[in-house]
Chains A and B, each alone.
Chain A
Amino acid sequence: MSNSHIVENLKKEIENFKAQIKIEKVGKVMEVFDGIAKISGLSDIKSSEMVTFQNGETGVALNLEDDAVGVIILGDFSKIKEGNEVKSTGRILEIPVSDNILGRVVNALGVPVDGKGPIKASKTYPIEKVAPGVITRLSVSEPVATGIKVIDAIIPIGRGQRELIIGDRQTGKTAIAIDTMLNQKGQNLICVYVSIGQKDSKLRKLEARLEEGGAMAYTVVVNASASEAAALSYIAPYAGVSIAEYFMDQGKDVLIIYDDLSKHAVAYREISLLLRRPPGREAYPGDVFYLHSRLLERACRRNEKYGGGSITALPIIETQAGDITAYIPTNVISITDGQIFLETDLFYKGIRPAVNVGSSVSRVGSSAQIKAMKKVAGTLKLDLAQFRELEAFSQFGSDLDESTKKQLERGKRAVEVLKQLQYAPVKTEHQVVTLYALTKGFMDDVPVNKIKEFEASLVDYSERNAKVFYKEIKEAKMWTDKGEEQLKKAIEDFKTSFSTR
């Protein structure tokens, strides 16, 4: 570009510029500490309004007091000095959103942090929004295929549902979330992963894994890492759900994962205590319930008249020593539509995913299950429950009658079938075939240590030899007598060849 051209451009730009003259409300910083600022002035400010500091940092007004405003600083507070000017903006905190955000890692303010350059944003969305009302909603009826057998069969999740994943540290909570995201390839579900107070190294690993599985193409990661201010951890989930709402407003289905809300509550506790709000149980502030309820209420399924689309939320809560009766876990359990309960004991017994089937429930998901899955999984939960009871009982005596023995053997095989490796999601049709074989007793004479091998080969064989069954499941979501006959025959044929191996 020649010099004269640059000058010409600059001239044009300057001609286009109009200085804005307006009356502004200005406050002064009275004190700054630990990411909090007390500000005098700003007489007309609203609650959760955005303010800007002299050096460009933004803040959110949380405490409106008689002669001061308590503001949380979103960013570096070390450069803010006493006496600095603070301007109110008249706007609630908002983040830039656009379709280009897919495949990117952003921070809680929507600024990309993955080093792939700026994101061109067409719109901004406020981070706080009232959840959709009753008349705009639709009940859950479409499934979210997680690809995890035990979940899809026993604790099914529907689009628009809020299902809590709860368990101690190192029990595979994030693994379930990641597997679910990996399984959404070609399922028309956009994923938003909100990482709250996690290690950056963990997130990096996770992102690489998603990239490898081709899941980043339909995923947005919102990161508020452990090294950032508590204020950013506090707003990250709201920013995440705003991104999800942007896609829902286009009529799309979205899955959002909050990993994890216990750290979110801790970040909010920190802010509240610094703002001198009165502490309650476990030093959490009085509105810690509302903190999560208003967030999770924004997950919904809207009817066509109001634009359609859905947001499915999978919040994660970390418990201490399996104590689900602590304050935050009980709160979130009561808000969500069910929970997936992971246990350390099961994990170390080798039952992975370590889902405790007895304590896990899905209150609305069963209506979202496809008919075929409902049919095969119906007796599975009962089988497993009976097995657990008999297993404890059978340890006392050795003389068991035939039917009890049979139930025990069936239970052992069910547990074996529901085991699954990480990053190995199973297609719905394959799940139906496996569970069909299990619940109809085709696996009863297969040795327990050979179940995994049997399952893998059966899926392979049946796909080739029971095409009608597969087609029916894919299209009509349920088999007919013709398909069932074909599958039965395929399984029997396969068994004879398997036993001679």
Chain B
Amino acid sequence: MTSISNNDIARAIYLSSKDKSPSEMHQVHEKVINFLVRRRLISKSSSILLELKKIINSEHGIVPANVFSAHRLHEKKEKNLVHFLKKRYSAKEVALNPVLDKTLLGGMRVEVSDEVIDLTLKNKVEQLQKYLTRTV
């Protein structure tokens, strides 16, 4: 038996609820929940929702980005970053999610889906450690 992946289900939900009026949406939701119950997929609903969110984002050209830094970013820096990310991912909108993390020491780390740009001091120090302790 071929199993349906969470991604497939999320896509189906997205397509069936696209451009629907509120009353139609209600019906769609009911059917979705019935389907999940019938196929015993309720336990997977959180990961399906996560996939759904990804699909909605990609359809609307929204790129969510987590930005980790030791200190709050300057506004100008943030603007530059948004501009860079918009260009790189050809996105209409960038949803920045700033996270403060003192252990990074300095710099910042940008995560967009599974791509990571690590510009933190912590990373550099770790690289230096690796370089100095390498076997020659």
Do A and B share a complex?
Answer: yes
A-side residues, CB < 8 A to B, are 10, 13-14, 17, 19-21, 23-27, 40-43, 66-67, 118
Q: Could you tell me if B115 and A23 are in contact, using CB atoms closer than 8 angstroms?
A: yes
CB closest residue in chain B, given A21: B119
At the interface with chain A, which of B30-38, B95-103, B126-134?
A: B126-134
**Residues in B103-121 with C-beta less than 8 Å from chain A:** 111, 113-119
B residues neighboring A (CB under 8 Å) = 5-7, 51, 111, 113-119, 123-124, 127-128, 131-132, 135
Which of B6, B113, B118, B119 has a CB less than 8 Å from the CB of A43?
B113
Number of A-B contacts (CB under 8 A): 45
**Residue in A closest to B8 when the chains form the complex, CB atoms:** A66
Question: Could you tell me if B7 and A67 are in contact, using CB atoms closer than 8 angstroms?
Answer: yes
- Closest residue on chain A to residue B128 by CB atoms: A17
Q: Please tell me which one of the listed residues B6, B51, B114, B131 contacts residue A26 in the complex, with CB atoms under 8 A apart.
A: B114
What would 7 A/B residue contacts be, using CB atoms closer than 8 Å?
A13-B131, A14-B128, A19-B128, A23-B116, A23-B117, A25-B115, A25-B116
A residues within 8 A CB of B113?
Answer: 41, 43
- Residues of chain A within 8 A of B111, CB atoms compared: 26
- Tell which of B7, B113, B116, B135 has the most Cβ of chain A within 10 Å: B116
Closest Cβ–Cβ distance, residue B106 to chain A (whole Å) = 13
Assess the A19–B124 pair: CB atoms within 8 A: yes
Q: How far is the CA of A11 from the CA of B5 in the complex (A)?
A: 54
List 8 A-B pairs, minimum CB-CB distance, nearest first. A41-B114, A66-B5, A19-B124, A26-B116, A17-B131, A24-B116, A19-B127, A23-B117
- Measured in the bound complex, the distance between the Cα atoms of B127 and A20 in whole Å is 8
Known: A17-B128, A118-B135. A24 touches B5 (CB 8 A): no
**A13 pairs with B132, CB closer than 8 A:** yes
Q: How far is the CA of A97 from the CA of B5 in the complex (A)?
A: 43
Contacts of A10 in B (CB 8 A): 132
Residues of A within 8 A of B7 (CB): 66-67
Report Cα–Cα, A189/B37, bound state, in Å: 67
**A24 adjacent to B128 (CB under 8 Å):** no
Query: What distance in Å separates the Cβ of A101 from its nearest Cβ neighbour in chain B?
Result: 16
Chain A residues whose CB sits within 8 angstroms of the CB of B128 once the complex forms: 14, 17, 19
Which residues of chain B are within 8 angstroms of A41 by Cβ–Cβ distance? 113-114
Residues of B within 8 A of A21 (CB): 117-119
Which one of A17, A24, A67 contacts B118 once the chains associate, using CB atoms below 8 Å?
A24
Least CB distance from A425 to B in Å reads 40
- How long is the Cα–Cα vector from A129 to B118 in the complex, in angstroms? 33
Q: Who on chain A is nearest to B88 by CB?
A: A23
Question: Which B residues touch A23, using CB under 8 A?
Answer: 115-117
| Besides the known contacts A13-B132, A25-B114, 17 further A-B residue pairs in the complex with CB atoms under 8 A apart | A17-B131, A20-B127, A21-B119, A23-B115, A23-B116, A24-B115, A24-B116, A24-B117, A24-B118, A26-B115, A27-B114, A41-B113, A42-B114, A43-B114, A66-B5, A67-B7, A118-B135
Q: Please, how many angstroms separate the alpha-carbon atoms of A23 and B127 in the complex?
A: 15
> What CA separation (Å) do A335 and B83 show in the bound complex?
59
Q: Which residues of B contact A67 (CB under 8 A)?
A: 5-7, 51
| A19→B122 CA distance, assembly (Å) | 11
Q: Output the nearest chain A residue to B112 by Cβ-Cβ distance.
A: A23
Complex: how many Å from CA A67 to CA B115? Answer: 15
Q: How far apart are the CA atoms of A430 and B98 in the complex, in Å?
A: 82
In the bound complex, what is the Cα–Cα distance between A351 and B36 (angstroms)? 70
Residue of B nearest to A17 (CB): B131
> How far in angstroms is the closest Cβ of chain A from B115?
6
- Could you say which of B6, B114, B124 has the most chain A C-beta atoms within 10 Å of its C-beta? B114
* Chain B residues whose CB sits within 8 angstroms of the CB of A27 once the complex forms: 114
Taking CB as reference atom, which chain B residue is nearest A86? Answer: B114
With the chains together, A20 CA to B5 CA distance in Å? 37
Q: In whole Å, how far is A53's beta carbon from the nearest beta carbon of chain B?
A: 14
